[in-house]
Amino acid sequence: MAAKGGLSLNTATVRDAWTLEQCIDGCQRHGIPGIAPWRDKLQEMGVARAAKAIREAGLVVSGLCRGGMFPAADEAGRRAAIEDNRCAIDEAQAIGAQCLVLVCGGLPPGSKDLPGARNMVQDGLAAILPEARAAGVLLALEPLHPMTCADRSVLATLGQALDLCDALGEGTAVAADVYHVWWDPQVAAQMQRAGSRLAAFHVCDWLVPTTDTVFDRGMPGDGVIDIPALRGMAEAAGYRGLLEVEILSRTWWARDPDEVVRICKERHATAC
């Protein structure tokens, strides 16, 4: 990994304002060394064209967001998810992403079978792992905040993600987003356990009050997360990658994207 502790712009941060092309340009203008595209923006630009532009801009791709979403109500749905993840692996390889970030998915519609959904996640990961290994694409399991367990991620803690890595082996890793892990009494121990399997480190902040369970994340420094402490845990465990700023927020999406990126850069220096 390159540029320890430098900033990477996750394109979701300026989701409503900028295309991927504009994000690449924005990173250059603001002197930001890394980028993490979402797949919709990547596909919109075209994978080959984006890969070339990112390479020419000299940007590190801290991750591709996102694969995952394995659980489904029937076999056809689960197969479709696996196929989609295979496309994501190809895309991650094409743009030289340091990892493919996986948001593993929630309960299938109408289901209350949480252990069953967790098994579907493990089975889906096992199914795509050979392609990921062959492509040299690291699968980064991102545990999401437990408030997303029903509809976005039955993978809820770093410990659970590392248990999956232990079961699946080489080619799997974890992505730690401070928003998702800050509350966890086990976070220090699990960061240490992750060690070289910590493939990505995402930053934003937890606002008080939080008015939406998905789209009310804060700018680093505006909330209650002790980001430097968590970064310290990650770096003590050996993390040498970028700090990727990913802010899903209706508030920030409504603001001028250059202003948002300028403030991200400032807070990267002062609040991370």
Q: Which residues bind its own copies (CB under 8 A)?
A: 107, 111-114, 118, 145-147, 149-151, 154, 156-157, 159-160, 163, 182-186, 206, 208-210, 213, 223-226
* Distance of alpha carbon 178 from alpha carbon 50, whole angstroms: 28
Shortest reach from residue 110's CB to its own copies, in Å: 9
In angstroms, give the least distance from the CB of 40 to its own copies: 21
Please identify, using beta-carbon distances, which residue of 76 and 112 lies nearer to its own copies: 112
- Least separation in angstroms between CB 229 and its own copies: 8
Tokens of 2: 């390159």
Distance CA 226, CA 240 (A): 19
**Least spacing, CB of residue 195 vs its own copies, in Å:** 20
DSSP, residue by residue, 133-176: HHHT--EEE-PPPGGGTTTTBS---HHHHHHHHHHH-TTEEEEE
Residue 64 is encoded by which pair of tokens?
Answer: 């591709």
Q: Smaller CB distance to its own copies: residue 38 or 182?
A: 182
CB of 256 to its own copies, least distance (A): 28
For the CB of residue 156, give the shortest distance to its own copies in the complex, in Å: 5
Question: Which residue's CB is nearer to its own copies, number 28 or number 122?
Answer: 122
Report, in Å, the least distance between residue 132 CB and its own copies. 23
The smaller minimum CB distance to its own copies, of residues 149 and 248, is found at 149
**Residue whose tokens read 């082996």:** 169
Q: How far apart are CA 222 and CA 206, in angstroms?
A: 8
Q: CB nearer to its own copies: give 3 or 150.
A: 150
Task: Kindly give the pairing relationship between strand 198-203 and strand 34-36.
Answer: unpaired
Token pair in block for residue 31: 């002197």
Number of C-beta neighbours around residue 107 at 10 A: 20
Residue closest to 49 by CA, chosen among 95, 3, 83: 95
Comparison of 230 and 261: residue with beta carbon closer to its own copies:
230
Comparing CB distances to its own copies, the nearer of 66 and 145 is 145
CA-based max dimension of the chain: 48
* Rounded-to-integer distance, Cα 160 and Cα 142, Å: 10
